[in-house]
Amino acid sequence: MHVKRFLLVVTLSLFLLFAAEVDVWYLKYLSYIQLSFTWLETFFHEVSHGIVATLTGGSVVSLEFKLNGGGRCAYQGGWLKLVYFVGYAGASVWGAVLYLGATASIKNAHRLAISVLVLIVLSGLSWVKFSDHTSWFVLFVISANIVFPLWFVRLKYIQTYVQFLGIYVLLSSARSAIYLIQIKLPGDDTQMASVTKLPEIFWILVWVSISIAILFALLGKAIRSS
């Protein structure tokens, strides 16, 4: 049962990630649904920067989200090598935590979803400017994606839903890292290259490898559980 559910949420995540890119008109509407879940991955990415910057002696100046799925965490100080690195790696770990936490039990999945909702609210109140209406809209949408199933979907389905969120965040993080190859603007890979003297492609491969390694580790756990 664990393997079947794992394969189910992986299939759903991959379908949502790539179906909107197929040149079929009725699949284009999926891009709006996809974007709402991609914002969640962006949230975990940027919040990872902020948390690590704070924990390593720095401070967060602001947290911003864009309608196209992008985001930016402005910070000062901290251990920059780790802060730069933890965006993509952190999102992958958050995805694994969501999946594993939900797998433990249905009630644990429910509590985990509430915890994520609290994190979204606290992060917004602490780091997002009140005048930044776009960022607040993004936070509202990803909060709604969690609140709706918590209160309007039968409890037994919450577990699968939170597992799906975890796998989607994990795979979306890997895809976002791969897209860095196509992007000409400076990103986390550029920053890592500047402080380590290793090329951008090296760090992109590291981040993608982390996501793939976590995915196979989760698959192995699902097989053992079955």
Token digits for 48?
Answer: 């990872």
DSSP reduced 3-state for 88: helix
Segments in the chain forming alpha helices (H): 2-19, 25-28, 30-55, 80-104, 106-127, 133-152, 155-179, 188-196, 200-225
With cut-offs at 50, 70 and 90, classify the pLDDT of residue 121: very high
pLDDT averaged over the chain? 90
Task: Give the pLDDT confidence of 77-93 residue by residue, as tens digits.
Answer: 889 999 999 999 999 99
Token digits for 3?
Answer: 């393997």
Inform me whether the pLDDT recorded for 168 exceeds 90: yes
DSSP reduced 3-state for 22: coil
* DSSP 8-state code for residue 74: E
Task: Give the pLDDT confidence of 39-49 residue by residue, as tens digits.
Answer: 999 999 999 99
Task: Give the pLDDT confidence of 205-218 residue by residue, as tens digits.
Answer: 999 999 999 999 99
Inform me whether the pLDDT recorded for 157 exceeds 90: no
Residue 200 CB contacts under 8 Å (≥ 6 apart), including other chains: 180, 189, 190, 192, 193
Model pTM score: 0.93
> What confidence score (pLDDT) does residue 153 get?
63
Sign of the Cα pseudo-torsion (5, 178, 37, 114, in order): positive
Mean pLDDT confidence for 149-175:
86
190-93-195 Cα angle (round to 5): 25
Inform me whether the pLDDT recorded for 128 exceeds 70: yes
DSSP reduced 3-state for 67: coil
- Most distant pair of Cα atoms in the chain: their distance: 51
